[in-house]
Amino acid sequence: MKKHLLFGLLSAAVFLVGCAHRPATHPTDEPFRSVYHHSPEANWMNDPNGMFYDEANGVWHLYYQHNPFGTTWGPMHWGHATSTDLLTWEEHPIVLYPDSIGTIFSGSAVIDKNNTAGFGENAIVAIFTQSERIGQHQSIAYSTDGGYTFTKYEGNPVLMGDIADFRDPKVTWDGDHWLMTLACQQEIRFYASPNLKEWTYLSSFGKDLGAHGGVWECPELIRLKCENEKIGKCENEKIGKCENDKYVLLVSINPGGPFGGSATQYFVGDWDGREFKCENGKCENEQMNWLDYGKDNYSTFTFHNSPDGRLVAIGWMSNWQYAEVVPTVAFRSQNTIARDLFLFTDDEGEFRLGSVPSPESLALRGEETKYLPDAGIVELELDGKQDALVTLSNDKGEKVVMNLDVHRRTFSMDRTASGDCSFSHDFAARTVAPLFVKRDTYKVLLFIDHCSIEAFDAEGAWSMTNLVFPSEPYNHLDVQGGEAKIYNVKI
Ligand code: FRU
């Protein structure tokens, strides 16, 4: 079936609705400012850092790599934003400034419920890398006002680097002690601590395993509960049976991603309290696992203390190949929408890490509309028996072409004619995701914002995040081989 939705004239009303969606926290009204994705008010941002959920106040805290002096990477600080809905963000003052130990690189934060560090019950403790010319070290800082201001620990650094790349500590509670996952060149190291101040080396992982086209960064060890109904979430008949909890190790890599530049790979395996081992030695084959099959989802982390044991994750929505030259003006970079991570088994019976838009992100769906506003959500139902072609375009002829190939069992997105690609020869690209699970009907969700398209298998078997810079908003949607529902964005 061919369904052609053509909206040659975007009415002034629709345009005004689009503008009204822009959160008041963004002073500049530039065309590529995201409507419902977090972006810094001004200047440069890369990785999300230290994310945690304050359950007493229902507030999500997001810190981020920030250069307050310009729109390219520079001396790193931790910027800060909060949200109660994961869609609209309030900016707060910078929480961590460089000092004599170094600038402030990526890291994590925990709520120290039992006062193990002695900074006070429920103190928020940030663990981060300090980078200087001759090395990288791990430091800590604490907050006793719920994460709005931090004091650096006078005994910093708490873990001295012994190699050049020694960074991005992600700390979690592992039964009766803290566990740090750290990126060290092209390996991951694990350290344990009773109090966040003294750290003991446990083990290393990654030599000759997975992708090694670049430096490893921003790791996270995630525990996935052994709940078979969740593992079978993709309604796959071969539901995997697990007896123990599974662990997934996220490792960002730059360069060396599947479509060039930076990307996030993962390993599924087991954690015995000391060592991470891949599921059935699976990492030894050549196959890499990617969290997202687009070019623009890097250094993905989960929020510490997410409600109901969920794994709510956000990634940096850009790529080191061109992040510093994209055509935004007052700021550079935004984060992805929040996604919930989970484990499922694919048609070959392999465990895979899936991501679905978080319920908070799905709450964006406003009224169903026949208009395609400049920010919206599209739900596609594509027939699993024939190929489908989905084209988003504007009156200038700029377009993004998506293709469901039922024989190759792939979904692809081609942004080579999507708008401005001139700022970097690495930008024009076609990205391809394996479908992983065969279905009669493929439901695909498209989250469209002013400079991004995030495509999801509606059940989370794959996701694909790509930036786009059209000179006018896309206002046509053409679907061959399926049907589409369009929703306005509700903020
Ligand atoms: C990843 C990264 C991290 C580092 C930070 C510096 O994008 O290179 O490894 O901590 O950015 O800004």
pLDDT tens-place string over residues 299-308:
999 999 999 9
Q: In what order do the strands lie in the sheet with 441-449?
A: 365-368, 482-489, 376-383, 441-449, 452-457, 463-467
Return the ∠ at Cα 346 (arms to 343 and 349), rounded to 5°.
Answer: 100
In angstroms, rounded to a whole number, what is the distance separating the alpha carbons of residues 465 and 296?
A: 5
pLDDT exceeds cutoff 70 at 346: yes
CA of 338 relative to ligand 1 center, distance in Å: 20
- Residue 145, number of CB atoms within 10 A of its CB: 9
In angstroms, rounded to a whole number, what is the distance separating the alpha carbons of residues 490 and 70?
A: 32
Which amino acid appears at position 278 of this protein? C
Structural tokens at position 471: 């000179």
Average pLDDT over residues 259-280: 93
Q: For domain 6-357, give the CATH number.
A: 2.115.10.20
- CATH 2.115.10.20 location in the chain: 6-357
- Residue 480, number of CB atoms within 10 A of its CB: 16
CA of 88 relative to ligand 1 center, distance in Å: 25
200 forms beta bridges with 192
CA of 463 relative to ligand 1 center, distance in Å: 23
In angstroms, rounded to a whole number, what is the distance separating the alpha carbons of residues 445 and 438?
A: 17
pLDDT of residue 431: 98
pLDDT of residue 24: 37
Band the pLDDT of 243: cuts 50, 70, 90: low
Percent of the chain at pLDDT > 70 equals 89
pLDDT of residue 242: 57
pLDDT in tens, 401-431: 999 999 999 999 999 999 999 999 999 999 9
**Helix, strand or coil for residue 333?**
coil
**Helix, strand or coil for residue 484?**
strand
- CATH 2.60.120.560 location in the chain: 365-489
Average pLDDT over residues 334-339: 98
In angstroms, rounded to a whole number, what is the distance separating the alpha carbons of residues 82 and 90?
A: 5
Total-model pTM: 0.92
Band the pLDDT of 387: cuts 50, 70, 90: very high
Range from 124-133, 274-283, 286-295, 356-365 carrying the lowest mean pLDDT = 274-283
Q: Which residues line ligand 1 (CB under 6 A)?
A: 46-47, 65, 76, 105-106, 129, 167-168, 217-218, 299
Range from 22-36, 87-101, 206-220, 467-481 carrying the lowest mean pLDDT = 22-36
pLDDT of residue 6: 33
pLDDT of residue 283: 72
Class of domain 365-489: mainly beta
CA of 390 relative to ligand 1 center, distance in Å: 35
Structural tokens at position 134: 């001759």
Residues annotated as catalytic are 47
Residue closest via CA to ligand 1's atom 9 equals 217
Which atom of ligand 1 is nearest the CA belonging to 215?
A: 9
Which atom of ligand 1 is nearest the CA belonging to 107?
A: 10
Ligand 1: residue of 45, 46, 130 to mutate (most ligand atoms within 8 A of CB) is: 46
Cβ contact 10:19 at 8 Å: no
Which atom of ligand 1 is nearest the CA belonging to 106?
A: 10
